[in-house]
Amino acid sequence: MKKWMMLSLILIVLAGCQSALLGGGQTIIEWVNFIKWNGQDFNSIDSGVLADNQYIGEKVGTVNFKLADNVTNPSYKTKDGDAAFYEKGTEIYSIKGNNDLLAVKSENSINGYQLFYSTESTEYKWHFKHMPLDEVKKIEIYTQVNNKRIAEIVDKGRIEDFLEILNTSVEDKDFAPNTNNRDSITYEMIFYTDGPIAYNFDMQFDGNTYFWYPWDACILSDDIKEFIPEN
């Protein structure tokens, strides 16, 4: 299942973590990707990327302490500047006009930043059902292996055709990709509107079937091939 969907199912307990007690009293904590700032937890937006660098605001501070690999006490109380996975000194940026958003530079994220939202001032609103389809102005498709852009769709008619394929995909909760001969190829679909966050969803191809996870598995029409150049 898509990584952001998996993360959204994690119950955030004990200040953003889960723990398991192993033999010998050792505790392993499974951290949610978050940053503590201004007394608030900012969780990662895993179905959204920065739309453009123009939205990056001022540097507001730096990470003071990385929790993963350093904290084993499930009762640990997080403090401002704590981050689950970012090293001490990592710079934290504001998003212009959005006090409930933060950004951290990331080589693994399309357009160069991982985005975070305040769990106390807003709800997660970047699922496919939240995307204003009539406001999509551009679609990009990337290969997930190296974040290489392989397609850009800007024509209004073609954008509508692409979105129609997604909207008419067929839900199949029992679907399992065919991995007998190969792993599925994963593509990143980026949908740009007028906001600072572009929506980001995975699409996969197992050699026979194109599918994606707006929530449960959905099978895509073979018409999607028209938009994906041969590698």
User: Minimum mean pLDDT among 33-37, 52-56, 81-85, 182-186: which range?
Assistant: 182-186
Strand, helix or coil at 213? coil
Instruction: Identify the CATH number of the domain in which residue 199 sits.
Output: 2.60.40
What's residue 1's pLDDT? 45
Residues 175 and 105 in one domain: no
- Residue 122's contacts (CB-CB under 8 Å, 6 or more residues apart) are 100
Per DSSP, helices labelled H in 64-189 are 156-167
Q: Does 101 map to a domain? A: yes
Q: Do 51 and 88 reside in the same domain of the chain? A: yes
Q: For residues 61-87, b (16+ Cβ closer than 10 Å) or e, as one string? A: bebebbbeeebeebebebeeebbbbbe
pLDDT at 230: 74
Residues 150 and 58 in one domain: no
Q: Are residues 152 and 60 in the same domain?
A: no
Query: Which of 67, 96, 118 marks a domain boundary?
Result: 118
| 89-127 pLDDT per residue, tens | 999 999 999 999 999 999 999 999 999 999 999 999 999
Is residue 132 located within the same domain as residue 112? no
Dist CA 211 CA 11 (whole Å): 27
Backbone angles phi, psi at 61, to 5 degrees: 165, -165
Q: Are the C-beta atoms of 78 and 15 separated by less than 8 Å?
A: yes
Q: Give the predicted TM-score (pTM) of the model.
A: 0.87
CA–CA separation, 198 and 49 (whole Å): 5
For residues 3-32, average pLDDT: 52
pLDDT above 90 (res 203): yes
Q: How far apart are CA 35 and CA 41, in angstroms?
A: 6
d(CA 200, CA 188): 7
Is 75 within the bounds of a domain?
Answer: yes
Residues in CB range of 51: below 8 A, 6 or more apart: 111, 192, 193, 195, 196, 197, 198
- Do 111 and 9 share a domain, yes or no? yes
Domain that holds residue 179: 128-227
Could you give the number of structural domains in the chain? 2
User: Is residue 123 situated within a structural domain?
Assistant: no
Residue-averaged pLDDT of the chain: 90
Determine the pLDDT at residue 191.
98
Please check whether residue 153 lies inside any domain of the structure. Answer: yes
Q: What band does 6 get if pLDDT is binned at 50, 70 and 90?
A: very low
Do 14 and 110 belong to one domain? yes
Same domain for 193 and 135: yes
pLDDT in tens, 124-180: 999 999 999 999 999 999 998 889 999 999 999 999 999 999 999 999 999 999 988
pLDDT digits (tens, 9 = 90+) for 45-100: 999 999 999 999 999 999 999 999 999 898 899 999 999 999 999 999 999 999 99
Instruction: Record the tokens describing residue 223, joined without a space.
Output: 């018409």
Q: Answer yes or no: is pLDDT of 204 > 90.
A: yes
Q: What does the pLDDT read at residue 181?
A: 82
- Specify whether 11 is located in the same domain as 113: yes
Which of 94, 118, 142 is at the close of a domain? 118
Q: How far apart are CA 228 and CA 142, in angstroms?
A: 10
